């Protein structure tokens, strides 16, 4: 019946076309909340509701979303997935307000909706419904978590779930530099159509480095940031460097001991030589004294 009515409305093309107003910009509705699809007409005067027909349908598939005619809702041809989720505003109909309330919005509701209105004249207009769902707070994990050495390649994984549509993940270092070259980002949809975003950043490890993961929902804007800082305290001291340090320390100690021994020997030799020179000088002096005494006696 609905298709026949719509065909009849389109067939009478010689009739004056009623001006139907809908939002030019897409209507954004949060997942699980209610969406208001605004539709209004400019009426030339009062009319009887029994003369009013309002048809909401999916633009592409032409499936019925909600129908009203003869002063009451006509839902026999309504698509099953919209059952018990749609309603008009009866008290606002005489004022030209043909808006549709869509309850408990899901991802599958996203798309184009057409509002057909007929009183004495007819008209139609289409609007676009977009669904948005906020993501969970991003969480960043580090792999591996231990036995890290400077220069090692590590993987930082940023994950957020339960959002829609797919989000953009932006990585930055502590200086605010964008790190897009080393990123791998994937999105996995649940049965409800919501996404889990996973982004992996590979970097060469440096001590005291900070990395941030920013999630940007194209409909809701920035949703959250997560930071991770890798400090020297979280990094195991490299085993090779440890043995090199120990070896150098031992070598230095041996060198100091050897140097001390050499110095001690040199000092001892110097002292013995000085003592010998003193004895030789004393003996020479005694010999000269003896010679002088003998000369005096003679």
The 10s digit of each residue's pLDDT in 199-237 is 999 988 777 788 899 999 999 988 788 888 776 444 444
Q: Are 22 and 127 in contact (CB under 8 A)?
A: yes
Identify the domain boundary among 132, 149, 174. 132
CATH label of the domain that carries residue 165: 2.60.40.10
Give the pLDDT confidence of 120-133 residue by residue, as tens digits. Answer: 889 999 999 999 99
Closest CA to 132 of 266, 28, 259: 28
Position 153 scores a pLDDT of 83
User: Does the pLDDT of residue 24 top 80, yes or no?
Assistant: yes
Determine, yes or no, domain membership for 239: no
User: What is the domain range of residue 168?
Assistant: 139-234
Q: What is the pLDDT of residue 12?
A: 39
Predicted TM-score (pTM) of the model is 0.69
Please compute the mean of the pLDDT values over residues 91-99 and round it to a whole number.
94
Instruction: With respect to residue 153, please indicate whether it lies within any of the assigned structural domains.
Output: yes
Residues 16, 50 share a domain: yes
What are the C-alpha distances in Å from 44 to residues 12, 13, 19, 96, 144? 19, 19, 11, 10, 72
Q: Angle 232-238-239 (CA atoms, 0-180°, nearest 5)?
A: 150
User: What average pLDDT does range 8-34 have in this prediction?
Assistant: 77
Residues 116 and 40 grouped into a single domain: yes
- Given this model, what pLDDT does residue 241 score? 46
Instruction: For residues 133-143, give the mean pLDDT.
Output: 92
Average confidence score pLDDT of the chain:
82
3-state secondary structure of 242: helix
In a domain, 72, yes or no: yes
Domain final residue, candidates 181, 213, 234:
234
Say what the pLDDT of residue 14 is: 37
pLDDT at residue 295, as a whole number: 61
**Pair (224, 151) in one structural domain:** yes
Mean pLDDT of 164-174: 92
What DSSP element (H or E) covers 7? Answer: helix 2-11
Nearest alpha carbon to residue 178 among 216, 141, 143: 216
Contact yes or no for 132/164 (Cβ under 8 A): yes
95 and 77 inside one domain: yes
Residue 7 vs residue 168, higher pLDDT? 168
Residue 7 has pLDDT above 70, yes or no: no
- pLDDT of 3 strictly over 70: no
User: 207 and 270: one domain?
Assistant: no
Q: Which of 132, 160, 175 lies at the terminal end of a domain, its last residue? A: 132
Residue 8: in which H helix or E strand, if any? helix 2-11
pLDDT at residue 220, rounded to an integer? 92
Is the Cα dihedral 252, 255, 256, 257 positive or negative?
A: positive
Rounded to an integer, what distance in angstroms lies between the CA atom of residue 197 and that of residue 235? 29
Indicate the number of domains in the chain: 3
Highest mean pLDDT among 106-110, 220-224, 278-282: 106-110
């Amino acid at each position: 019946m609905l298709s026949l009515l719509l065909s009849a409305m389109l067939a009478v093309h010689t009739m004056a076309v009623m001006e139907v107003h809908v939002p030019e910009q897409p209507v954004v509705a949060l997942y699980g909340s209610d969406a208001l699809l605004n539709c209004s007409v400019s009426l030339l005067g009062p009319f009887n509701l029994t003369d009013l027909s309002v048809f909401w349908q999916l633009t592409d598939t032409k499936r019925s979303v909600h129908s009203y005619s003869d002063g009451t809702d006509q839902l026999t041809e309504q698509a099953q997935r919209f059952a018990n989720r749609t309603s008009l505003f009866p008290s606002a109909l005489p004022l030209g307000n043909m808006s549709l309330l869509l309850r408990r919005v899901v991802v599958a509701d996203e798309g184009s909706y057409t509002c057909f209105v007929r009183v004495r004249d007819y008209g139609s207009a289409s609007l676009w419904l977009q669904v948005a769902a906020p993501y969970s707070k991003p969480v960043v994990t580090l792999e591996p978590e231990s036995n890290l050495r400077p220069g090692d390649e590590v993987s930082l994984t940023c994950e957020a779930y339960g959002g829609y549509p797919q989000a953009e993940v932006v990585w930055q270092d502590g200086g605010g530099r964008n790190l897009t070259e080393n990123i791998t980002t994937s999105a996995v949809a649940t049965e409800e159509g919501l996404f889990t975003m996973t982004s992996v950043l590979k970097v060469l490890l440096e001590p005291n480095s900070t990395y941030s993961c920013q999630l940007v929902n194209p409909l809701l804007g920035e949703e959250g940031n997560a930071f991770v800082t890798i400090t020297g305290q979280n990094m195991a001291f490299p085993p090779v460097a440890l043995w090199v340090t120990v070896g150098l320390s031992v070598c230095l100690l041996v060198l100091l001991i050897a140097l001390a021994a050499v110095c001690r020997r040199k000092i001892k030799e110097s002292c013995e030589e000085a003592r010998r020179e003193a004895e030789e000088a004393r003996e020479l002096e005694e010999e000269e004294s003896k010679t002088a005494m003998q000369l005096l006696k003679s």
